[in-house]
């Protein structure tokens, strides 16, 4: 009996074969293996491997239709290596299987056979995370704390494992989980683990879309890694790269003697920024490949969500290009890519429900995190790249000049509720000569640490989920590099240990105060954003059912004595101060647990005199507004919780 049915061919032609990985690739059956591949322009295809002495004349594939080929090879079994011999005229090349579940080290260019554990019994791994999978948060996470630790597995720690160059998936699971839980993060997000020959690409130039990289172990080792983190209550998100792919000749490029996975149009084929090839989303086989791949990671490896890399480059045909080909209507939007993004998200939520689909999207494209039935792209969250850019632009200024850049601090609140955002301080900001977050901060070491604590305090106070790249919690001094581990010895320095402890405390506050999860537009309210002269802002996080919090931030190294802040009337308790000596601060002003009272001043003139913001702006304050007089620490953020409202 043939392996590929007429239904397979029909679904393939329509671009709706979203479990293509269950039919294409290598599938062991009854003492042999079925092989199937898409190569519509090839004149002949053969499978070569350990089972036939790599002789292309032994096992030719048969044309099935719609560009699909298949063959059954008796004796081909698990852990045999194989490739496809593709011939078109004088073009003859050996290619790795696009659907290979495992790849050898690049020098060997082979692919051991392995079956899908959901289809056949060839994966030996037994999952133990059924409770986690049944209760994990997907869309429901919008009403929960989400704090993500972004990780590059090969450079997080090198001093663990069995002595190899890289720690294994199994080696890293326990120490990573310990650190994540100690710091209070809810999820890890892995930079791509899909197979990539060029290690300095960090995984963003993929060859093996269906294969966890060999560098850290086997596919079952990766299953163990995910399962273990789930057993500790940690979600696992995975970076996914549907925008472009590596040019390595053994991979997808020019696969069947023609531009198959990439654009046929030479103007659109190459990505000018990354030297890669761009997927042609108009081809049904490409759509089948990508949507199936997203489903594969969510299904086979119990991944809790995918973060789509470089979405902006998919949305616009002129992205980073001087020359480009418009769409059928003459516009710049990539209509086929937009359709693919929607289909992928619909398939993910339709099949798995409680997952997170996240877009790294840097433009103002509307509705990225809106459902597709409302003409959105269907993502759950969008990275807030604007917040990251503007906040770092503000913080890198010398404090004496920050008043001239105040709009960079306050403007992100104009659009904070236009999408479901995740605030990110990601790997993108600590590479390619940009320097570490620590070295973006002005001043001496004490001021750098204080500025970093201040920025993190604002990040956790601002609406949106949180993502922090590994090492930032240590105040990493050196720019991140993929070929060395983080500078863990920095934790021996009190300033760096203080940054770490501050991030831990911010996550603790985030978990315990529901007002910080309030993603409604009324959940954030400015108290005062007008005191640009003194570089002080204050705001409230509110909810109708929980005590509210107030954040007061002083972005200068000048302490403010008796600074008037219009907190709502009542009693307020200091719950956090970034200037605490425990975090390396100066200990100025109130201590955690101290209480202040906000009350109406009898004389308006007294109130005005006590309020620097009022004097600076020339505004006339109404006499009836309650006021609290606070001592603001230098380069610090203080957080109050309302413990008694006015009667």
Alpha-carbon distance of 288 to 295, in angstroms, equals: 11
Catalytic residue among 150, 360, 505, 580: 360
Q: What is the DSSP string of 136-147?
A: --SGGGGGS--E
Residues 61, 45 contacting (CB under 8 angstroms)? yes
3-state secondary structure of 180: helix
The stretches of 276-417 forming alpha helices (DSSP H) are: 284-300, 311-315, 335-352, 385-395, 406-410
Active site residue 473: no
| CB neighbourhood size of 522 (10 A) | 10
> Using alpha carbons only, what angle is made at residue 102 by residues 4 and 54, rounded to the nearest 5 degrees?
75
Q: What are phi and psi of 381, to 5 degrees?
A: -135, 155
3-state secondary structure of 429: helix
Residues 93, 46 contacting (CB under 8 angstroms)? no
How long a stretch of residues is the chain?
647
Alpha-carbon distance of 307 to 383, in angstroms, equals: 9
3-state secondary structure of 610: helix
Active site residue 309: yes
Alpha-carbon distance of 250 to 248, in angstroms, equals: 6
Q: Which two tokens mark 61?
A: 């594939």
Residues 399, 554 contacting (CB under 8 angstroms)? no
3-state secondary structure of 412: helix
User: By C-alpha distance, which of 633, 612, 629, 634 is closest to 621?
Assistant: 612
Q: Which residues contact 363 (CB under 8 A, 6 or more apart)?
A: 312, 315, 316
Cross-strand bridge partners of residue 423: 384, 466
Beta strand 421-425 pairing with 465-469: parallel
Q: Which two tokens mark 480?
A: 């991140």
Catalytic residue among 309, 343, 361, 429: 309
Residues 181, 220 contacting (CB under 8 angstroms)? no
| CB neighbourhood size of 600 (10 A) | 12
The stretches of 442-586 forming alpha helices (DSSP H) are: 445-461, 494-512
Alpha-carbon distance of 404 to 254, in angstroms, equals: 52
Catalytic (active-site) positions: 309, 360
């Amino acid at each position: 009996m043939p392996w590929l049915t007429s239904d397979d061919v029909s679904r393939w032609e329509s671009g709706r074969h979203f479990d293509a990985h269950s039919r294409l690739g290598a599938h062991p059956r009854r003492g042999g293996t079925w092989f199937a591949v898409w190569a519509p322009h090839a004149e002949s295809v053969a499978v070569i491997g350990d089972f036939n002495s790599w002789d292309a004349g032994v096992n030719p594939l048969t044309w099935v239709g719609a560009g699909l080929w298949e063959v059954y090879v008796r004796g081909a079994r698990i852990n045999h290596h194989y490739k496809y011999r593709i011939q078109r005229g004088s073009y003859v090349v050996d290619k790795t299987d696009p659907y290979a579940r495992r790849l050898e080290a690049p020098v060997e260019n082979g692919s051991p056979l392995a079956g899908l554990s959901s289809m056949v019994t060839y994966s030996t791994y037994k999952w133990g995370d059924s409770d986690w999978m049944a209760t994990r948060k997907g869309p429901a996470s919008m009403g929960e704390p989400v704090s993500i630790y972004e990780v590059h597995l090969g450079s997080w720690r090198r001093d663990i494992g069995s002595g190899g160059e890289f720690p294994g998936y199994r080696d890293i699971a326990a120490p990573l989980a310990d650190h994540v839980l100690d710091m209070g993060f809810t999820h890890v997000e892995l930079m791509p683990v899909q197979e990539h020959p060029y290690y300095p690409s960090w995984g963003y130039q993929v060859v093996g879309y269906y294969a966890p990289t060999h560098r850290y172990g086997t596919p079952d080792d990766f299953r163990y890694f995910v399962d273990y983190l789930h057993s500790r209550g940690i979600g696992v998100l995975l970076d996914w790269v549907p925008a472009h792919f590596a040019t390595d000749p053994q991979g997808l490029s020019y696969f069947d003697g023609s531009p198959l996975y990439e654009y046929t149009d030479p103007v659109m084929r190459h990505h000018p920024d990354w030297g890669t090839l761009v997927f042609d989303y108009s081809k049904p086989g490409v759509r089948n490949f990508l949507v199936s791949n997203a489903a594969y990671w969510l299904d086979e490896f119990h991944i809790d969500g995918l973060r789509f890399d470089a979405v902006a480059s998919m949305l616009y045909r002129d992205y980073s290009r001087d020359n480009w080909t418009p769409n059928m209507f003459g516009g710049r939007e990539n209509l086929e890519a937009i359709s693919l993004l929607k289909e992928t998200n619909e398939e993910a939520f339709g099949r798995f429900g409680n997952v997170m689909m996240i877009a790294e999207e840097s433009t103002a494209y509307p509705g990225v995190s809106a459902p597709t039935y409302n003409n959105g792209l269907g993502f759950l969250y969008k990275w807030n790249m604007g917040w990251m850019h503007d906040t770092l632009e503000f913080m890198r200024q010398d404090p004496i000049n920050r008043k001239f850049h105040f709009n960079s601090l306050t403007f992100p609140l104009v659009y904070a509720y236009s999408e479901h955002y995740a605030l990110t301080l990601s790997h993108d900001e600590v590479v390619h000569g940009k320097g570490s977050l620590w070295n973006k901060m002005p001043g001496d070491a004490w001021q750098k640490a204080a500025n970093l604590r201040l920025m993190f305090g604002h990040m956790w106070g601002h609406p949106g989920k949180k993502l922090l790249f590994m090492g930032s919690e240590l105040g990493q001094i050196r720019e991140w590099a993929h070929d060395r581990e983080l500078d863990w010895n920095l934790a021996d320095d009190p300033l760096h240990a203080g940054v770490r402890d501050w991030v831990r405390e911010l996550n603790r506050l985030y978990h315990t105060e529901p007002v910080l999860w309030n993603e409604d537009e009324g959940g954030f309210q400015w108290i005062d954003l007008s005191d640009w002269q003194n570089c002080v802002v204050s705001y409230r996080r509110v909810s109708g059912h929980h005590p509210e919090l107030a954040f007061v931030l002083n972005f200068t190294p000048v302490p403010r004595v008796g600074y008037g802040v219009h907190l709502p009337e009542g009693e307020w308790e200091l719950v956090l101060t970034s200037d605490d000596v425990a975090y390396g601060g100066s200990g100025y002003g109130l201590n955690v647990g101290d209480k202040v009272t906000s009350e109406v001043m009898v004389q308006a003139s007294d109130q005005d005199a006590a309020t620097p913001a009022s004097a600076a702006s020339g505004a006339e304050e109404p006499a009836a507004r309650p006021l609290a007089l606070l001592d603001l620490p230098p380069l610090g953020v203080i957080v109050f919780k309302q413990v008694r409202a006015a009667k």
